[in-house]
A and B are shown apart, each in its own frame.
Chain A
Amino acid sequence: MIAITDRPLDYHAVSESVRDNSAGAVVLFLGTVREITGETQTTQLEYDAYRRMAEARMQELRDEVFRRFTVVRCSLVHRVGSLAPGEVCVAIAVSSPHRPEAFDAARWLIDTLKEQVPIWKKEHYGDGTVDWVHPIDAGTAESAS
């Protein structure tokens, strides 16, 4: 399951999609909207995507995870639109015969998704300001190739 959705994320379905009798471990990672970072309050995150490329890139990550790790099944779903604190923005599920590979693969997937997939968040703060999040050390052509 590889998808970008504008509806609340059915992470149970994402997790179920990777269950398999040849797997002994399933790892589900959820990215959620954090309300407090230090002294800063986030009231809303708006996610936008270059959908065509984001889906293609997510598909490539899925293919790559099978080359790098011993994985049975893998699903990635990212949500776009406006999200409130606590809501789920991304769900990644991996199944493997044994747990070390499942943990490693899931970690690699979220780390790499955050570097490479063309999705952006716009943060709404408690003081009323709004700003796109464009980290300087992420999403470079070098790290994406």
Chain B
Amino acid sequence: MRIDVLLFAKARDLAGCEKVTVESEDRPTVGALAQSLFDQYPRLRESGLPLLWAVNDAYVSPDTMIAAGDEVACFPPVSGG
């Protein structure tokens, strides 16, 4: 299954683009998708940058399952305001 992941801020800089397509198993968990993302973009893993995940505008935990059509985003700790 191919899943688009939106990246922001320093995660975007490390991957070199604002959207990446990650190859993963069918209906992966967020945790499994994160590992696939790191395999494709090792700089994200090596940096040790803490990363948060959101699916369809809601924060999710690593055991959340992703379905086709979900909007997935990955980003470092926020700093608005």
> Could you list which residues of chain A lie within 8 angstroms of chain B, going by C-beta atoms?
31, 47-50, 52-54, 56-57, 78, 89-90, 110, 113-122, 132-141, 144-145
Query: Are the CB atoms of A119 and B81 closer together than 8 Å?
Result: yes
Query: Are the CB atoms of B80 and A132 closer together than 8 Å?
Result: no
Please give me the residue from chain B that is nearest to A113 by CB atom: B81
Interface of B is mostly: loop
Interface of A is mostly: mixed
What is the CA–CA distance of A56 and B6 in the complex, to the nearest angstrom?
17
> Could you list which residues of chain B lie within 8 angstroms of chain A, going by C-beta atoms?
6, 8-10, 13, 49-50, 52-54, 57, 59-61, 71, 73, 75-81
Query: Are the CB atoms of B59 and A115 closer together than 8 Å?
Result: no
Query: Are the CB atoms of A120 and B79 closer together than 8 Å?
Result: yes
Query: Are the CB atoms of B49 and A134 closer together than 8 Å?
Result: yes
What is the CA–CA distance of A144 and B9 in the complex, to the nearest angstrom?
19
Query: Are the CB atoms of A90 and B75 closer together than 8 Å?
Result: no
Query: Are the CB atoms of A139 and B9 closer together than 8 Å?
Result: no
- For this complex, 14 residue pairs linking A to B, each with C-beta atoms less than 8 Å apart, are A53-B57, A114-B80, A118-B73, A118-B78, A118-B80, A119-B81, A120-B79, A121-B80, A132-B10, A134-B76, A134-B79, A140-B52, A141-B60, A141-B61
